[in-house]
Amino acid sequence: MDVPRLPILNETVRNLYYHVPMWFGMLFLFFMSFLHSIRFLRSNELGQDVKAIQYANIGLVFGILGCITGSIWAKFTWGAWWTNDPKLNGAAIGMLIYLAYFVLRGSLPDQQQKARISGVYNIFAYLILIPLLFVLPRLTDSLHPGNGGNPGFNAYDLNSKMRLVFYPAVVAWCMLGYWIAELNIRIQLLDEKSQPNT
pLDDT single digits (tens) 109-154:
888 899 999 999 999 999 999 998 888 777 776 666 655 444 445 5
* Digit-coded pLDDT (tens) for 78-98: 777 887 878 888 888 999 999
Q: How far apart are CA 176 and CA 182, in angstroms?
A: 10
Rounded distance between C-alpha atoms, residue 89 and residue 94, angstroms: 9
62 phi and psi, to 5 degrees?
Answer: -65, -40
Query: What's the rounded Cα separation, in Å, for the pair 6 and 162?
Result: 13
CA–chain centroid gap for 158, Å, is 24
**How far apart, in whole angstroms, are the C-alpha atoms of residue 175 and residue 39?**
22
pLDDT at 99 over 60: yes
**pLDDT tens by residue, 162-198:** 777 778 889 999 999 999 999 999 999 998 888 776 4
| Spans of all domains in the chain | 17-193
